[in-house]
Amino acid sequence: MPEGVLLTVAYAGAGFAGWAPQRGQRTVHGVLLEAVGSMRAGVTGLRAASRTDAGVHARAQLIAFDSDGVIGPRGWALGLGSRLPDDVSVRRVSRVEAGFDPRFRSRGKRYAYRILCDPLRDPFLEATHLRVLRALDVDAMAREANYAMGTHDFAAFRSAADHRENTTRTLSRVEVLRHPTDPRRLAIIVEGDGFLHNMVRILAGTLVQIGQGRRARGAIARGLASRSREDLGKTAPAHGLTLEEVYVDDRGADEFPPR
């Protein structure tokens, strides 16, 4: 009897050309599908909650596939752990119904865009933080972030490759937070019911430029009103962005490891 398997997956994005399969490219989908297939032949595709871009990281990406139920969550977790490379890891496994698709079961997602204010490189943070040379005006960034809260037409906050007709999204949290112990570090936390392509990176890039004094305050409000990409800042580099959480009502049964 077929059943669904739900994986919570973490990965460092630097070594991948994104989540989605691409011919001749190393992708998270490709690496994970190879490991799953080595344990149980016949699994031909994986269903992800988010199609992260090249260089973007994830702490809790949700991935589902269907199998025959012979292997349980503990077996999948330990077996995949021994087969996957160092830059991707299965953090949790549960049973769900066959056909479970986390993309359509998601109630929202949380992203973090991390920034390091330091004139010199820090090898422990370089891969996961955008480094800027001088301190940012965090208070100005925090005030500006408030304009993005709520339900808006975010047409200006997307890449040219995004052709979706519906560009209205609701952001329930947009915060600029200082690191509690390291004054060089800050994070832009964004939660919402859905996101356009590059939406968080455009938002982050705009806030960074405001923090640098390189863009006039009120840019986010202007972009929302005009729907013009030109009113906003640069798209922040991918390596500062992490998918932190996907919110779903049902995470299945028989979780391993148990909470």
- Is a pLDDT exceeding 90 seen at residue 47? yes
Q: What percent of the chain has pLDDT over 90?
A: 93
Angle between helices 199-211 and 138-145 (to 10 degrees): 140
- Per-residue pLDDT band at 44 (split at 50, 70, 90): confident
Question: The domain 107-243: what is its CATH number?
Answer: 3.30.70.660
- Per-residue pLDDT band at 237 (split at 50, 70, 90): very high
Q: b/e string for 136-155 if b means 16 or more Cβ within 10 A?
A: bebebbbebbebbbeebebb
- Is a pLDDT exceeding 80 seen at residue 1? no
Can you tell me the mean pLDDT for 44-54?
A: 93
pLDDT in tens, 187-216: 999 999 999 999 999 999 999 999 999 999
pLDDT in tens, 126-135: 999 999 999 9
Pull the structure tokens for residue 222. Answer: 């202007």
pLDDT in tens, 113-171: 999 999 999 999 999 999 999 999 999 999 999 999 999 999 999 999 999 999 999 99
8 A C-beta contact, residue 233 and residue 204: no
Domain ranges of the chain: 3-100, 107-243
The distance in angstroms from the start CA to the end CA of the chain is 27
Q: Catalytic residue among 53, 66, 118, 231, which? A: 53
- Per-residue pLDDT band at 41 (split at 50, 70, 90): confident
Q: Where are the alpha helices (DSSP H) in the chain?
A: 28-39, 73-83, 102-105, 138-145, 199-211, 219-226
Max CA separation in the chain (angstroms) = 60
The 3-state DSSP class for residue 13 equals helix
Any idea which architecture 3-100 has in CATH? 2-Layer Sandwich (3.30)
Q: How far is CA 126 from CA 2, 92, 121, 129, 183, in A?
A: 43, 27, 7, 6, 16
8 A C-beta contact, residue 66 and residue 251: no
Pull the structure tokens for residue 189. Answer: 């936390």
pLDDT at 19: 95
Distance, CA of 198 to CA of 204 (rounded, Å): 10
> Considering only CA atoms, which of 222, 162, 165 is closest in space to residue 196?
162
- Per-residue pLDDT band at 87 (split at 50, 70, 90): very high
What is the secondary structure of 43-104 as a DSSP string? ----EES--PPTT-EEEEEEEEEEE-SSS-HHHHHHHHHHHS-TTEEEEEEEEE-TT--HHH
pLDDT in tens, 90-110: 999 999 999 999 999 999 999
**Same fold flag, 3-100 and 107-243:** yes
Most confident range (mean pLDDT) of 38-42, 43-47, 200-204 is: 200-204
- Is a pLDDT exceeding 90 seen at residue 259? no
User: How many CB atoms are located within 10 Å of the residue 45 CB?
Assistant: 11
Bridge partners of 253, per DSSP, are 95
Q: Is 53 in the active site?
A: yes
pLDDT in tens, 5-14: 999 999 999 9
- Radius of gyration from C-alpha coordinates of the chain: 19
pLDDT at 37: 95
pLDDT at 205: 98
- Per-residue pLDDT band at 250 (split at 50, 70, 90): confident
Pull the structure tokens for residue 233. Answer: 């800042």
8 A C-beta contact, residue 45 and residue 65: yes
Amino acid at residue number 230: E
